[in-house]
Amino acid sequence: MFPRFHMDERARILVVDDEEVIREVIADFLTMEDYAVCTAADGREAIAELDRSRFDLVLSDLKMPNVGGLELLQEMQRRQLPTKAVIMTGFGTIETAIEAMKRGAHDYILKPFRVEEVVLTVRRALEERRLEAENLRLRDAVGLYEASEKIAASLSLDDILETVTSATRTGARADVARLMLLDHGHLVERSHHGDTTLSVDASRLLAQLDDGLAGVRLSGPDAESFGDGGDDAPGALLAVPLVEGAETIGLLALARRDGGERFDEGQRKLAAMMAHRAAAAIVNARLFEGQQLAIGQTIEGLARAIDKLDPYTAGHSDRVSIYASLLAKKLALSDETVELVRRSAQMHDIGKIGCHVNLNKPGKLTEDEYEDFKKHTIYGAEILGPIGFLAPLVPGVLLHHERMDGRGYPHAMPADKIPRLARIICIADSYDAMTSDRAYRAALPHEIAIAEVRRCAGTQFDAELVEPFVEALEEWRANRIAKGQSVAR
């Protein structure tokens, strides 16, 4: 979007020459060609003019008193102006003209010149300037479009904040972008991008904002400024509030190093647009995070209910969810899938709530009792199914006793129909059952349980999961033992 080419206005040209006649003749002709023309008598006047307003083209003499054409070019380069420069020079100084081109001049005109020649050269330079501005606008627009898409698609607060600061800093050509969110009346920096030694004066920032942040206090030991408290005071500062509905939730601040240009109108609009997008996405991400927390707490509570049923199996749900996640991670499944495995495993025995059989009774279950017990898989699916956000856990809960040889329950499913999620929970569940005390037997040692898991590869368990499971489990145990934490004996 920047630098802006005056598309809907006339192109602005600055004519610089110490000879008044030449200056005026060129100015008259260019004005007749419908350009907006200003004049300056030397390089010094020209620089003052360039600092005052924006030009698309500078048409300058080379030899002038005070500040000459080459120095003017140098100053324009130092200011990183997008303005094109065309140098006018007398016969015999073509080497100087070449020198001027090296210093960033776009073209040169040899004196004495014909006016048509000047007009043609000016047209060419402005056309190039227009194309450059167009390309830049396009590049900025694409970058911002991509950033907006990314922000809208993400539910991760950290990712959103990172994208907002980096895209805004680049788009508005700032040296640093900082994003702060309000937290119980305090503004807390949550993300920054760029030169972090550049501190942002907090009172100057808040002064730029209206009442949205009135009464806000700044957090942190250095409440006077954001940043690392460096000595570098910024040259230009821009702050826009993040507003959602009627509420201000934070602010986005941009700064340029000392000597940097002020932020122009387009850059202010860009920052405001990004702040607007960011505010909506942040509110969304917070809702999502809250929802995820509520789901986690619900599962946690239900898992406690399962443990209350049977003191012998207390902690079973948690351990199975740990073992199942270890295997899911070992298989390099996506983060979302690992989370689904973890939650499904934690809920796998929820259906025991519906069983009439006394799970604490010593000795083996009778055939009838066993038939009742087997229904815990179906009961689990029936309990979770109607709860929308827990419904994705149903396959793991319903099918965790299915076997690869088709002799499992409740459906005696063939191997190819059993989802991997259920196969993972099956191994984790069986290993923990073997290594825990039961009403009818003491816990088996770890090595025996592992040997049993291996023996049942391909019949009860998915053969492809057995070795990854053993590997993941051994690594986890070694790590815990090294830290002095408990493991199954």
Chain residues in the site for Fe ion (CB under 5 A)? 349
Packing angle of the helix pair 157-171, 115-153 (nearest 10 deg): 170
With beta carbons less than 8 A apart as the criterion, state whether 51 and 77 touch. Answer: no
Question: CA 214, 218, 204 angle in degrees (round to 5)?
Answer: 65
Which helix (H) or strand (E) segment holds residue 61: the answer is strand 57-61
With beta carbons less than 8 A apart as the criterion, state whether 106 and 86 touch. Answer: yes
Max CA pair span of the chain: 116
Closer of 87 and 345 to Fe ion (Cβ): 345
Closer of 145 and 370 to Fe ion (Cβ): 370
Residues 6+ apart with CB under 8 A from 389: 291, 295, 298
Closer of 188 and 314 to Fe ion (Cβ): 314
The least distance separating Fe ion from the CB of residue 422, rounded to whole angstroms, comes to 11
| Residue 175, SS3 per DSSP | coil
The least distance separating Fe ion from the CB of residue 372, rounded to whole angstroms, comes to 13
The least distance separating Fe ion from the CB of residue 374, rounded to whole angstroms, comes to 9
Place of tokens 């937290």: 183
Closer of 56 and 349 to Fe ion (Cβ): 349
The least distance separating Fe ion from the CB of residue 466, rounded to whole angstroms, comes to 19
With beta carbons less than 8 A apart as the criterion, state whether 479 and 438 touch. Answer: no
The least distance separating Fe ion from the CB of residue 380, rounded to whole angstroms, comes to 8
Q: Which residue is nearest to Fe ion (CB)?
A: 349
Closer of 42 and 349 to Fe ion (Cβ): 349
The least distance separating Fe ion from the CB of residue 335, rounded to whole angstroms, comes to 26
The pair of structure tokens assigned to 334 is 């996506």
How far is residue 435's CA from residue 431's CA, in Å, rounded to a whole number? 6
Place of tokens 């130092």: 78
The least distance separating Fe ion from the CB of residue 321, rounded to whole angstroms, comes to 13
Tally of residues, the chain: 489
Closer of 189 and 349 to Fe ion (Cβ): 349
Handedness of CA 154, 159, 163, 165 (dihedral sign): positive
Closer of 110 and 322 to Fe ion (Cβ): 322
The least distance separating Fe ion from the CB of residue 327, rounded to whole angstroms, comes to 17
The pair of structure tokens assigned to 25 is 């003749």
How far is residue 196's CA from residue 201's CA, in Å, rounded to a whole number? 13
How far is residue 193's CA from residue 162's CA, in Å, rounded to a whole number? 8
Question: CA 275, 281, 282 angle in degrees (round to 5)?
Answer: 85
Phi, psi of 240 (to 5 degrees): -130, 140
| Residue 362, SS3 per DSSP | coil
The least distance separating Fe ion from the CB of residue 476, rounded to whole angstroms, comes to 22
Virtual torsion, Cα 375, 381, 383, 389, nearest 10 deg: 160
Closer of 77 and 360 to Fe ion (Cβ): 360
The least distance separating Fe ion from the CB of residue 403, rounded to whole angstroms, comes to 13
Closer of 140 and 349 to Fe ion (Cβ): 349
How far is residue 181's CA from residue 161's CA, in Å, rounded to a whole number? 10
The least distance separating Fe ion from the CB of residue 192, rounded to whole angstroms, comes to 49
Closer of 72 and 421 to Fe ion (Cβ): 421
Closer of 33 and 369 to Fe ion (Cβ): 369
Which helix (H) or strand (E) segment holds residue 182: the answer is strand 176-183
